[in-house]
Structures are given as structure tokens and as C-alpha cells.
Amino acid sequence: MKKPKIAEWTELRGLAFLAIVMQHNIAEYIYRTDIEQPDSVMLTMIYHLTRFGTPTFVFLSGALLFYHHRHAKQNYARFIKKRLGDIYMPFMIWTLIYWLAVRVFTPSFWSSGMPDLGSFVRELFLPQTGYHLWFVLMILQFYILFPLFLTGAHAVRKRLESNPHSRLTSGQRTLAIIIAAAAMYVCLLKWSYYDMSGWTNLLSEPWSSLLEYRSYSWIMYWFYFLLGAVCAWAVENWRGWTTKVLPWTIIVFIMMYIWLGYDVLRGSEDTMNLNISTYLKPSTFIIIMAQMLMFYGLLALLRDKDLGFRRLLDWIGRYSFGGYLVHALVIYSIAYFTRPLHLSGWHLLATVLSFAITVVTALGISWGLSRLPGSRFTVGLSRQRYKAKESNTLSSTQTRVKRQPSHSG
């Protein structure tokens, strides 16, 4: 039987998409030479509200994979073939689009005869023009390795349930494992942020390059994937726990928000250095966890309420993958007109307007492409599947008018 949809996952994906689009719009404006300090500080403050975006996508990928496949017999070849079609084919197509989009506006591209295809091949491994596409390569590693993760998860779960005489409940032991894993992950982030940059000078190839591009590796994000597995295995317990700890996650978020802002201001000079708040830093990990759990708890509290903003987040989350693929191209297009302008004193407003235009345009393109043939290979959505989903959504909406909402998820 088809498993019930977990509504807050799609809504949380919508929030994560909005956060990432805001991050990239901020990066477009905050480093301009004519920016004034008030705008720079305000953009930094907004930036620290968006840190949860990419790790939340990793968390949701883990949750969805374990939720739908934890009890199924895996045909690895068919599983990988489907994921390559859903994820890697759109990545290749959009890598080509970004590679061409940057070069067709360069006169040397037309005068040089044969284009440099070697640079396109490099883009397939180290995306530069489509700077955001690194995430697709990173998340694909989790899909390739998923059968191993699933085997490990089953082994851990069997071990947790095999000792009925333990003084700790299964939930308490699971929490202990999460805390231990979090401590290990913080150590990894500490090494990455403070130590590994010096290691690259001591190592030969290919190890130095692997360290240099370590942010492209699943190893740097495995903890969020683990949390997704825990959430998928006990959705109701996860909902209850995130709502129970909601006051604490709000407090931790506020404290870390103040600290990260101070840390960037202290470490920056004339230009704000947003790299101080990189994902691969222990203090950033704390605010990411606080934000992600806070938003999950809030969405879980509101999941039985038919609110307009929840329907909007659900729609955004549904088309977020295609929107993610195309949004940088929209930012490039806007920047083509804004970079020649003198925007001193207007960078905050320009960023907010650019963000709004990017969101509407990127999601509109994703929605439009999802209704065309071959939509699976452009935005990762099957046209027939989403027609069926929209029909089911309409039916379920009509049903909710007649009876109370279901608590099955």
C-alpha cells in the first residue's frame, strides 16, 4: 500500500528552498564595492536566518528514502537507475544550460571555433558556472550508498530491540546514539574548519584535492541524513519530541543567532565575510540544528490546521527541486541588469526584490516544465505522477470539508 504523505516534510522543503534562494541573492549583493555598512549588516542578519536550508534538504532526503524503502526488498540496479533519471539527468541538462549561458555572452566563445568541451566535462564533476549544482552531486552519493546505510540502520534497530531487560527504553537508547553521533560530527566539523586547510599543503594528490573539495562529499553531511532516518522510523514520536523541545530550540536559536552575527562582525573588515558562518563550522551546526528542529516543531503543531501559508509552502516544496535547479540562472539574469547600476544605500531593497523575483520566476519555470514531456529529466517531476497527485490533493481537500483531518500523517 502507498504510504501516507507526511505533510510537514513538503512544507519544510519549501522553507529550505526559500532560505537557499535568499542566501544566493544576498551573496550577489553583499560583496559589491558600493554597499554601505547598514545594508551590509542587515544582509548579514538576514543571512543567519537562512543557514538551515541545505542541511534540511539532506535531512529530508534521508527521511524520504528510509520512509519509503526501509521495509522494501531492494533491487539495487532498478533503484539506482531511477535515481539517476530523477536527479542526475536534470543535473547534466542544467549543467549544460549554465555552461552555455555563461559562454554565449562571451565574444571569444563565437570566435574560437570549437568550444572548450573539456571545461564542460569539468563542470560535471566540479560545478562552477552552476555554482549551486554541487549539492546534486553530493546528495547523489547518499543515494548510491543508501543500501549500505539501510543495512546499517536495520542492524542498529535490531540491536536496540534485542535487549528487553535494559534499564533504558528504546527511545532513550536512540537518543543516546544521536547525541554520540552529534559529538562525533562536531569533532569532524572542528577538524574541517580549523585544521584541514593546513593539511592540504602536506598531502600529495589526490588527497589534497579531496580535502580542498571536502564540502562536495557526503561525509561532511552524514549527521543530517542520520537524523532523517530516525525521523522516518518514528514519525509520530519525532513530531511529539520536536514540539516538546520547541521552547528550548527557540532559545538556542536566538542565542546562536546573536553569537553568529557577532562572530561575523568581529571577523570582518570593510566587507562582511560570510564564510565565517560556513556550514562546516561547529557553531553554525548548532544554529542549523536549532532552526531545523524549531521549524519542524512549529509545522507539527500546525499540521491539523488548514492555513493558507501551509498550502503555499506545500506548493513551493512540490516544485522546489526544479526551482532550485533554475534559480541561479534567474539570479544571473537579474544581475546582468543590476551590476552596472550604482546601488549605494539600496542594496537591502535590491536583495529583497531580487529574492522575490527569483522565487516567483524559478518556481514558475519549474511548474511550467513539469507539465511538458520529459519533465522528469528537466525538473525531476513526472508529469503524469503530479497530475495524479494534484487530483488526490483536490479529493483530500474535499474530504476534509466533510470530516475531521486524519492523524495518520
- Per the domain annotation, does 203 fall within a domain? yes
Contact criterion met (CB below 8 Å) for 186 and 282: yes
Predicted confidence (pLDDT) per residue in 263-293, tens digit: 999 988 878 999 999 999 999 999 999 999 9
- pLDDT confidence of 262, banded at 50, 70, 90? very high
Q: What is the pLDDT of residues 143-173, one digit of tens each?
A: 999 989 998 988 888 887 776 666 777 778 8
**Which domain covers residue 275, as residue numbers?**
7-402
Region of 271 on the Ramachandran plot (φ > 0 left; ψ -120 to 50 alpha; else beta): beta
Domain assignment present for 286: yes
Whether 280 and 193 have beta carbons less than 8 Å apart is answered as yes
Does residue 1 belong to any structural domain of this protein?
A: no
Print the SS3 string covering the chain. Answer: CCCCCCHHHHHHHHHHHHHHHHHHHHHHHHCCCCCCHHHHHHHHHHHCCCCCHHHHHHHHHHHHHHHHHCCCCCCHHHHHHHHHHHHHHHHHHHHHHHHHHHHCCCHHHHHCCCCCHHHHHHHCCCCCCCHHHHHHHHHHHHHHHHHHHHHHHHHHHHHHHCCCCCCCCHHHHHHHHHHHHHHHHHHHHHHHHHHHHHHCCCCCCCHHHHHHCHHHCHHHHHHHHHHHHHHHHCHHHHHHHHHHCHHHHHHHHHHHHHHHHHHHHHHCCCCCCHHHHCCCCHHHHHHHHHHHHHHHHHHHHCCCCCCHHHHHHHHHHHCHHHHHHHHHHHHHHHHHHHCCCCCCCCHHHHHHHHHHHHHHHHHHHHHHHCCCCCHHHHHCCCHHHHHHHHHHHHHHHHHHHHCCCCCCC
> 315 versus 167: which is more confidently predicted?
315
CA distance 403 to 28: 48
pLDDT at 204 over 90: no
Q: Could you report the per-residue pLDDT of 24-70, keeping only the tens digit for each?
A: 999 999 999 999 999 999 999 999 999 999 999 999 999 999 998 88
CB environment 133-150: b (16+ within 10 A), e (fewer) = bbbbbbbbebbeebeebb
Between CA 203 and CA 101 the distance in angstroms is: 36
Residue 86, C-alpha cell as written in the block:
530523477
- What does the block give as the cell for 114? 570549437
- Residue 215: inside a domain, yes or no? yes
Tell me the CA end-to-end span of the chain in Å, nearest whole number: 15
Report how far residue 140's alpha carbon sits from residue 346's, in angstroms, rounded to the nearest whole number: 39
**Of the candidates 19, 82, 96, 89, the residue with the CA atom closest to the CA atom of residue 50:** 19
Is the pLDDT at 250 greater than 70, yes or no?
yes
Looking at residue 408, its pLDDT comes to 34
* Contact residues for 150 (Cβ-Cβ < 8 A; gap 6+): 66, 69, 70, 74
Q: Is 408 inside any structural domain? A: no
Residue 151 lies in a domain: yes
Sequence-ordered list of residues with C-beta below 8 angstroms from that of 242, at least 6 positions apart, any chain: 249, 293, 296, 297, 300
22 pLDDT more than 70: yes
User: What CA–CA distance (Å, rounded) separates 61 from 82?
Assistant: 15
State the total domains in the chain.
1
Is residue 230 within 8 A of residue 174, CB to CB? The reply is: yes
- Inside any domain, residue 407: no
Answer whether residue 1 shows pLDDT above 60. no
pTM, rounded to two decimals: 0.89
Domain assignment present for 236: yes
